[in-house]
Amino acid sequence: MRIFFCVLMLIPVLGMAQDKIITTKVDEQEKTKVKVSNEIVTTRSDSAGIKRFTYWEKQNKVSFDFSQLSFVHWNAGGANSVSGLAAAHFNRNYMRDSYFWKNELIGRYGINNQEGQETRKTDDLIQLNSNFGYRTAENSDWFYSSKFTFTTQFTPGYAYPNTTKPISTFFAPAYLFLGVGAEYALKEKQFTLYLSPLTQKSTFVLDQALADAGAFGVDKAVYDAEGVRIRKGANSRTEIGFFINTQWKNEIYKNIILESRLNLYSDYLNKFGNIDVDWMIKTDFVVNKYVRANILAHLIYDDDIKARKEVNGQSTIIGPRIQLKQILGIGVVYEFK
């Protein structure tokens, strides 16, 4: 399964080998975009002065947010702390004639260290998105489309302060969505709406202890009267349902960029109408090319994810709850092609 994941990670970079070379000499490096029919063509010049035309748009962005608190004889009290959040975002998008193929790889990882307690994780995400579309009418904004999404995390997560038993880890869970449908895309407004009446959702829990406990909706282990396991917990679960995805990104005011991503999913066979929600809203405040502040809010509701609460020193399952995460950071960002 780890080999399978590594192969998936290579998909966004396949566009690197797709350039069509035209031997035209230029005086210096340049990069422009021209529109040919309905195709977006990017023009580049390499170090040898050879002009290259490609139907691929490429974007790479890495960032690091940092915050620190320090107290010396501070009368009001306080605890020294330091936190950091590293993020990477890579895009490889292809569009020619009536076809498009969009690929996106996102990674985030954050930690916090506060005096008097262990280092704790604040953010953890690996996400790969791939979307292929075809339209039958040249000027239409509607595409027949298929969409693939894979999500997991880097390291174990804990219900702090309990750090003896992880409640999640790499590939536990991992979510895979694969479906077909239609997409409405307005490139100039950076808005897309994807509707899929047929999407497979697969949940993987490869940590056997979590699988035996029935975490993330998989079938839990079966034990006899003496507590001996007679059947292991399932390591995966498959659902078929209806999926909606919307994405929107716009500069709502000078140097203020708002981005919204919303996923809605409902299983046809298990509690149809019970909707899983995954909604992320991010606002970037651009200071200059390399410095920006951002506010991120992430809301999740999934009936298969049971929340835990510390009761008398014991971690107790209390059922599904709305999950909410908010991050405010300021840091440096570097973008390159």
Q: DSSP string covering 241-308, please?
A: EEEEEEEEEEEEETTEEEEEEEEEEEESSSSTT--EEEEEEEEEEE-SSSEEEEEEEEEEE-TTSEEE
Q: Are 311 and 292 in contact (CB under 8 A)?
A: no
pLDDT recorded at residue 216: 93
Q: Which residues pair with 266 in a beta bridge?
A: 242
Q: Are 202 and 217 in contact (CB under 8 A)?
A: no
pLDDT recorded at residue 30: 44
Please name which of 224, 178, 227, 232 lies closest in space to residue 207, comparing C-alpha atoms.
232
Cα–Cα separations (whole angstroms), residue 212 to 202, 219, 236, 237, 320: 18, 8, 11, 13, 19
pLDDT recorded at residue 35: 46
**CB burial of residue 281 (10 Å; 0-12, 13-18, 19+):** middle
pLDDT recorded at residue 132: 97
Please name which of 230, 136, 149 lies closest in space to residue 194, comparing C-alpha atoms.
149
Cis bond before residue 173 (omega within 30° of 0): yes
Q: Are 147 and 177 in contact (CB under 8 A)?
A: yes
The secondary element (H helix, E strand) that includes residue 5 is helix 2-9
**Predicted model pTM:** 0.82
Q: What's the token pair of residue 162?
A: 């309990």
pLDDT recorded at residue 289: 92
Upper half-sphere CA count for residue 172 (Cβ side, 13 Å): 23
| pLDDT, one tens digit for every residue, the chain (337 residues) | 444 444 444 444 444 444 444 344 444 444 444 444 445 555 555 555 565 667 899 999 999 999 888 888 788 778 899 999 999 999 999 988 889 999 999 999 999 999 888 899 999 999 999 999 999 888 899 999 999 999 999 999 998 888 888 999 999 999 999 999 999 999 888 899 999 999 999 999 999 999 999 999 999 999 999 989 999 999 999 999 999 999 999 999 999 999 999 999 999 988 898 999 999 999 999 999 999 999 999 999 998 887 777 666 666 777 788 999 999 889 999 999 8
Sequence letter at residue 128: L
